[in-house]
Every structure is written in C-alpha cells, then in structure tokens.
C-alpha cells in the first residue's frame, strides 16, 4: 500500500587512530583512566593555543582517496561556537567552509547490483569530551577531547534501510583497510547518524535525524521504524516537524530528543590560531604511499585464486588475515586461506595471540602451503606438527624429518600397498570397473597402514601404478 519514497542521508563520525590528538600532543588512547590523556590545550585553558597534527592530515587524505573524494588543496579550520560542558573552549575547531574532501562516492553491492552512494563532503574536526551523568552530578572525561574525527556526509541518495546498512558496512571496511580508524561503533570510534524523510512526490519530506545508534544493523532498524512512524503520522493527516530523535535499543524505536529550532546559529568564522593549510602534491603523494590495497581489489585476487565467496568474506572480515595473505598471492590461495581460516585461526584463538606473536615466518608459511599443495605432507601430519611450526624456529623440512614423516623406503611402501590391495579385493574390483573414486578410500587405508609416515604424493602415484598395471 505504501507509495511513500524513503530518502536517507547519513552523517558518520569516525575517530582517526593517530598517536596524538589533533590540536595537542596528548596521547590519544581509548580506555585510559579518565583525564590522564589531557593537557592545557584539551582543557581549553586560558592562553593555550592549538597545534596541528600532520598525521591527522595524512590520515584524512587517505580517507579521501578511498572514498573517491576530491582533495581540497587550500583549506582552513573554522570555529563552531556553542556552549556545552563537553566542549571545553565552548567552540569546536572544525571545517565549515573548506572541507578537506568533496564530491566522492562508494560503490555498494546490493544483491549483485552495484549502486553508487554519493558523498557530499568529508571534513576534519576535534572530538568533544565525554560526559557521564548521574543523579547527583555530571562528570567530564577530557581524554576524548581533541581526538581527531572525520565527518562523512552523504547526499540524500539512499532509499532503503538495506542500502544504508550496505553503505555503512562498506564505509567501515574502507576506513578500516585504509588504516585510519578502528571503526568500532561500540567504543564510539564510529558514530552513524541517519536522517530520514518520506515523500510521495519528488519534493523531499521533513527530515528527521536519529542519533545514538549502537550498531550498523540498528541503523537499518531505526530507518525502517522511522519511515513507518512518519508514514503513520502523515496518513493520520498530521504534519511532521524537523527534529532529532534517538534510537532506543531496548524497545527498538526512536524517541524524541529535541525539536530543531530554526537556523542553529554556530557563528562560524575562520580559526585565527591555525594558519591556512596548503596541501602540496608531494605531501598528498607521500601520505598515500603506504595506503594498502582495498578489499574489492583483494576480492578479485581471492576469486581468481579459487577461494569460495563465503571464505572470501571471512578473510576480508579479518583484516589481519587478509593483510597477511597479501604477501602470498603467488601461492595456492585455497590452501593458504584454508590454513589461515582453519587450523591457524583456531590455534591463535585458543592461545589468544596474534599471527605476529608466533614463530611462523613468511618462508615457513610459504613452504608449508606448497608442501600441502603438492601433497608432500598430509593434513594429518601437518596437524601433528602445527604447534611446533608456530612455537619453534625449526623449518618444515626439519620437522618432517624429526617426526619421521615421508622417510619409508620404497620397498616398504610397496609392501604396504600390496597388503592393502590384497585385503580389499572389493575396492580393487570397483576401481577396475571404472569407479575411480575408491582410489581415495584406498589411499586412506594406505596412509592408515603406514601410520601417516608415507609421503602421500608418492603413495598415490604408486597406488595408481599398481591398480592400472
């Protein structure tokens, strides 16, 4: 019945994970004890002046690049003036007139259909401090004050909750891979604020903004709920007013925070304490030089390498694994990814450590994958030596030797094969009748008989030779 069209724009704030804050040399560490990462600049102390952290510019340039934004070469900062206790100077240093990035887009994949989500602009600003309210009083933690943020604003070009969540997932993936933000919504390092309007005509309806959403799926829920709520109001013949609502994750509804008053007056003017910034080509090129490959490029290689889509997404979702795999694109990706997603991941999870904490060197990993690929070592044998691979400096060859894998004489192998064939005439008969699948079963028996010590590749060849003779 609904013939209302939803129109959605989304503002996203992301904390940049620079070592220091944007305008002060304070450390920027999430989870530190309250008010330990602060100094006179963060506290808005009289006489203090902002500095400008170049790393923030570099990170923002990277973000511009992966979001296909045009970089503003000549830019400055502006003061946004408003009183609130979480705003220590009672103005926020932001970019109003000259956002660092303009007119970009990201491509989302909506069930196989590619869509372009247009980004109006991206600017740099400082975060406010965190307020904790109790019945008796309010407490302020200035650790967050001055943490660098980028704010990314889309055009009103999103028309469904699904598109919105796909956009946010994509955005999160890109910024994460660009290495500029942790994008952890639960820790507040990524904050998504959609605005939703519905209309039956081409003219946009009344914009309602939703804040305080704790996950990407909740953004979808909030949009769906909000569109339905607005439709019910309009269908009752009532009118909507611009307002800001918040998402309530208990009731899965939106709740009114405040009605927008006409013309919020932030008295913007250029920040006089920070000279205008000119981004040179050299600086931009230099900032981008360590930008890693983005997920879509990686997906193409994974696909080419034969990795199944489901595993492909598992790898992309685990940036550490994907980054690791970047060094091994020339070997068997199926074997490599199965190893990483399977046995190696379980090992790491059990130990609660990272790949970089183990003794698995690049050459060892490469050797291991090649040996598994060429069946020079069986999966079972690999499992037996996994812990040694991860925890000792021994090479794969050394471990194979030490464990007595693959060291049986040819005559012994021949004996084992003969024994297996003798005791399984049915399989032999089936094979001769054209059922080649029993080869696998026979191989398994050979491996079992040899207690895994026979070289699987060699045994396979010999077995076939015997059967085909």
Interface with other proteins by CB under 8 A: which residues?
40, 43-52, 79, 81, 83, 85, 88-91, 140, 263, 265, 267-270, 272-275
Find how far residue 165's CA is from the centre of its chain: 14
Which CB, 78 or 193, lies closer to other proteins? 78
Which CB, 88 or 452, lies closer to other proteins? 88
Which CB, 52 or 428, lies closer to other proteins? 52
Which CB, 77 or 247, lies closer to other proteins? 77
Q: Taking the complex as a whole, how short is the minimal distance between the CB of residue 49 and other proteins, in angstroms?
A: 5
DSSP string, 114-126: EEEEEEEEEEEEE
Which CB, 58 or 170, lies closer to other proteins? 58
Q: Taking the complex as a whole, how short is the minimal distance between the CB of residue 34 and other proteins, in angstroms?
A: 14
Q: Taking the complex as a whole, how short is the minimal distance between the CB of residue 269 and other proteins, in angstroms?
A: 5
Burial string for 404-439 (b: 16+ CB within 10 Å, else e) reads ebbebeeeebeebbeebbeebeebbebbeeeeeebb
Which CB, 138 or 392, lies closer to other proteins? 138
* Residue 276: count of CB within 10 angstroms of its CB: 11
Contact yes or no for 264/80 (Cβ under 8 A): no
Please name which of 419, 405, 328 lies closest in space to residue 369, comparing C-alpha atoms: 328
Q: Taking the complex as a whole, how short is the minimal distance between the CB of residue 202 and other proteins, in angstroms?
A: 29
Q: Taking the complex as a whole, how short is the minimal distance between the CB of residue 360 and other proteins, in angstroms?
A: 44
Q: Taking the complex as a whole, how short is the minimal distance between the CB of residue 324 and other proteins, in angstroms?
A: 39
Q: Which helix (H) or strand (E) holds 440?
A: helix 438-449
DSSP string, 269-319: EE-TTS--EE--HHHHHHHHTTPPPPHHHHHHHHHHTT--HHHHHHHHH-H
Residue 137 has, within 13 A of its CA and on its CB side, a CA count of: 2
Q: Taking the complex as a whole, how short is the minimal distance between the CB of residue 96 and other proteins, in angstroms?
A: 10
Please name which of 253, 257, 250, 203 lies closest in space to residue 228, comparing C-alpha atoms: 253
Which CB, 142 or 405, lies closer to other proteins? 142
Q: Which helix (H) or strand (E) holds 79?
A: strand 78-81
* Residue 344: count of CB within 10 angstroms of its CB: 22
């Amino acid at each position: 019945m609904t013939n209302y069209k939803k129109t959605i724009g989304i503002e996203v704030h992301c904390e940049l994970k620079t070592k220091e804050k944007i305008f002060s040399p304070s450390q920027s560490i999430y989870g530190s004890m309250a008010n330990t990462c602060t100094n006179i600049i963060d506290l808005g102390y009289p006489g203090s002046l902002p500095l400008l952290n170049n790393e923030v510019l570099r990170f923002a340039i990277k973000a511009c690049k992966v979001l296909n934004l045009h970089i503003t070469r000549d830019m400055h900062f502006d003061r946004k003036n408003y009183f609130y206790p979480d705003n220590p100077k009672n103005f926020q240093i932001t970019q109003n007139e000259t956002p660092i990035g303009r007119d970009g887009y990201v491509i989302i994949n909506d069930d196989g259909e590619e869509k372009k989500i247009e980004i109006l602009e991206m600017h740099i600003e400082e975060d406010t401090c965190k307020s904790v309210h109790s019945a008796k009083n309010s407490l302020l933690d200035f650790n967050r004050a001055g943490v660098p943020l980028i704010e990314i604003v889309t055009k009103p070009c999103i028309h469904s909750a699904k598109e919105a969540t796909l956009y946010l997932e994509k955005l999160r993936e890109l910024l994460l891979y660009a290495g500029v933000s942790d994008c952890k919504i639960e820790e507040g390092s990524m904050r998504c604020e959609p605005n939703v309007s519905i209309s039956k005509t081409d003219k946009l309806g009344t914009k309602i903004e939703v804040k305080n959403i704790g996950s990407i799926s909740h953004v979808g829920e909030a949009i769906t709920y909000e569109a339905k709520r607005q439709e019910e109001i309009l269908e009752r013949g009532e009118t909507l007013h611009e307002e800001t609502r918040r998402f309530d994750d208990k009731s899965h509804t939106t709740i009114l925070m405040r009605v927008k008053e006409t013309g919020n007056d932030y008295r913007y003017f250029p920040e006089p304490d920070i000279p205008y910034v000119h981004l040179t080509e050299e600086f931009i090129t230099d900032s981008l030089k360590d930008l890693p490959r983005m997920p879509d490029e990686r997906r193409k290689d994974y696909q080419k390498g034969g990795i199944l889509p489901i595993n492909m997404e598992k790898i992309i979702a685990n940036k550490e694994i994907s980054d690791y795999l970047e060094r091994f694109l020339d070997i068997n990706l199926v074997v490599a990814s199965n190893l990483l997603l399977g046995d190696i991941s379980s090992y790491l999870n059990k130990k609660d450590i990272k790949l970089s904490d183990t003794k698995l060197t690049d050459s060892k990993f490469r050797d291991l994958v090649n040996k598994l690929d060429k069946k020079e070592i069986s999966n079972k044998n690999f499992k037996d030596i996994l812990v040694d691979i991860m925890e000792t400096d021994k090479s794969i060859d050394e471990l194979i030797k030490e464990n007595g894998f693959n060291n049986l004489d040819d005559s012994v192998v021949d004996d084992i094969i003969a024994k297996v064939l003798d005791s399984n005439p049915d399989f032999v008969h089936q094979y001769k009748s054209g059922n080649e699948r029993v080869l696998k079963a026979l191989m398994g028996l050979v491996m079992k008989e040899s207690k895994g010590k026979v070289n699987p590749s060699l045994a396979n060849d010999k077995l076939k030779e015997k059967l085909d003779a």
